[in-house]
Amino acid sequence: MERRALLGLALVATAAASTPARASSSGGAAPSADTYFRLPVVTGSILRPGGRRGVLSVEVGVDVPDAALRTRAQQSAPRLRAAYNTAVQRFATGLRPGAAPNIDQLAADLQAATNTTLGRAGARVLLGTVMAL
C-alpha 117, offset from chain centre: 14
DSSP string covering 33-59, please?
TTTEEE---EEEEEEPTTS-EEEEEEE
How many Å apart are CA 119 and CA 99, to the nearest integer? 33
Q: Can you give the pLDDT at residue 31? A: 65
Q: For each successive 10 residues of the chain (133 residues), what is the average pLDDT?
A: 52 46 45 84 91 93 94 94 96 90 95 95 94 90
Please state the pTM of the whole predicted model: 0.74
pLDDT of 50: 85
